[in-house]
Amino acid sequence: MQEPTLLLLTALADAPRHGYALIQEIAVISDGRVKMRTGTLYSALDRLLQQGLIQVERDEVIDGRARRTYALAEAGRATLAAEADRLRAVVAEADRRLRTIRPTARGALA
């Protein structure tokens, strides 16, 4: 799973949201660093629907504009939790190794 997908599932974890709201939510989550393009968003939503990780919550028309709201499915919830666990482990390992004194690297302290 790549980061845009991870961010999408994360953005849906606490509440259902529609496409445009997801773009804004992801900007907030990533502290403004990630501005997801609609090409990425809607193709990812299609894919995640296909995989059963998310589901369509409802279709509405607000002020003449179509709005489709997506919700995280149970499978998506489980997938996100598993992915978070895996990444947490890798990040912890990276931190541990970055703090290690490097035995043979040029210019190492030891």
Quick one: how far is CA 95 from the chain centroid? Answer: 22
| String of contacts with its own copies for each residue 62-91, x by CB under 8 A | ---------xx----x--xx-xx-xxxxxx
Q: In whole angstroms, what is the distance from residue 87 CA to residue 73 CA?
A: 21
Amino acid identity at 75 = A
| 9-17, 39-47, 60-68 -> range binding its own copies (CB under 8 A) | 9-17
How many residues are given for the chain?
110
- The answer to whether 18 touches 66, Cβ cutoff 8 Å, is no
* DSSP H stretches of helix in the chain: 3-12, 19-29, 38-50, 74-98
Bridging pattern class, strands 17-18 and 65-72: antiparallel
Cβ proximity to DNA, 68 vs 101, nearer residue? 68
Cβ proximity to DNA, 7 vs 99, nearer residue? 7
| String of contacts with DNA for each residue 85-104, x by CB under 7 A | --------------------
Q: How far is the CB of 65 from its own copies (least distance, A)?
A: 19
| Footprint on this chain of its own copies (rule: CB under 8 A) | 1-3, 6-7, 9-10, 13-16, 29-31, 33, 57, 71-72, 77, 80-81, 83-84, 86-91, 93-98, 100, 102-106
